[in-house]
Amino acid sequence: MRFISTKAHGVLDYLVGGLLIAAPWWLGFAEGGAETWVPVVLGVSALLYSLLTDYELGVVKTLSMPMHLMLDLGSGIFLAASPWIFGFADRVYLPHLILGIMEIGASLMTDKVPYKGTDRTHGTSGRMADSRM
């Protein structure tokens, strides 16, 4: 079931992108290795492809929403698995796992079509149709 709007997803994109970049220092696992740089690189990437996405909060609007969601899904899987892929799970894994699972969930629960200002169910412009017609 997809119940997260693309606009709400856009807000999450920018918040989570910033959180991923800051997390190693904010949560105290900035040791200079993969545990630090995987979330930073994924956060920067998320911000960049969010700016390029064709949704309400995109700037350049060249990347489709389904492609954006596939990138989010791949990023979430990689982030969640990174402590075991790179061998730092004995030192830190919960931030990577939790944020990765959240990213996977958001990618699977977000609408694939951005809201374009019309009511998709009734064909009106976000207002009730005149009953006198």
Summarised one tens digit per residue, pLDDT across range 20-56 is 999 999 999 999 999 999 999 999 999 999 999 999 9
Rounded to the nearest integer, the mean pLDDT of the chain is: 90
pLDDT for 117 equals 62
Indicate the SS3 state at residue 110: strand
More confident residue, 64 or 119: 64
The long-range contacts involving 84-88, CB below 8 angstroms and separated by at least 24 positions, are 86/33, 86/34, 86/35, 86/38, 87/34, 88/33, 88/34, 88/35
